[in-house]
Chain A
Amino acid sequence: DTGVSQDPRHKITKRGQNVTFRCDPISEHNRLYWYRQTLGQGPEFLTYFQNEAQLEKSRLLSDRFSAERPKGSFSTLEIQRTEQGDSAMYLCASSFLAGNNEQFFGPGTRLTVL
């Protein structure tokens, strides 16, 4: 257990539905990252926050995706009008802006869109 938690661990939804995932980082970490990982591939960067500010977004983050970190603590990732191609593992990681900035990963949320 790295100290980063994600909820839910698994989500099955029908195409067109909206889903929201939550990430609780390690409490003193000021950076929070979201990644997407498909089977057999390494994680792909989606977006990251420093405190409550969203500093960078990947081109993978279409306008159906939105992420928030309102108080600089937990974060949510919402996918609107889900598509079958959204099926993947969504990983959250957190780090402290100092030293080697090592990212600690949560267990992930596995999304299946039917």
Chain B
Amino acid sequence: KNQVEQSPQSLIILEGKNCTLQCNYTVSPFSNLRWYKQDTGRGPVSLTIMTFSENTKSNGRYTATLDADTKQSSLHITASQLSDSASYICVVSAASAGNMLTFGGGTRLMVKP
């Protein structure tokens, strides 16, 4: 069964600090891995997308890594801002006819002043 597990479930950090979110997956056959940011009451918005051959991808203060051998990914947020408070969802796409997505449960990040 395809699964995506994220940790921690929730995280509180002070503004300006860095943090790293983790994602482990068992999705086969693997197509790509995405990190989404979802603000409360809104739809998810894509931050990064990585294919099998990519092991790091940056988008401003967000840097995602992928280890396809161990099936792990991380999202590192640098110099956090209050606006980073949101849920971060790891999503893995299977190389199937519908490119079906398997979603993790998300990490709820709260950045405090």
Contacts A40-B105, A40-B108, A42-B104 hold; do A101 and B45 have CB atoms under 8 A apart? no
Select one of B97, B99, B105 contacting A42, CB under 8 A.
Answer: B105
CA distance A89 to B44 in the complex (A): 12
Interface size classification for chain B: 20 to 34
Q: How far is the CB of B68 from chain A (nearest CB, A)?
A: 16
A-B contact count (CB 8 A): 53
Number of A residues, CB within 8 Å of B: 26
Contacts A41-B105, A44-B103, A100-B49 hold; do A105 and B41 have CB atoms under 8 A apart? no
Q: Is A34 an interface residue (CB 8 A)?
A: no
Interface residues of B (CB under 8 A from A): 4, 32, 34, 36, 41-46, 49, 51, 89, 91, 93, 97-101, 103-106, 108
Interface residues of A (CB under 8 A from B): 2, 4, 6, 40-45, 48, 55-56, 89, 91, 93, 95, 100-108, 110
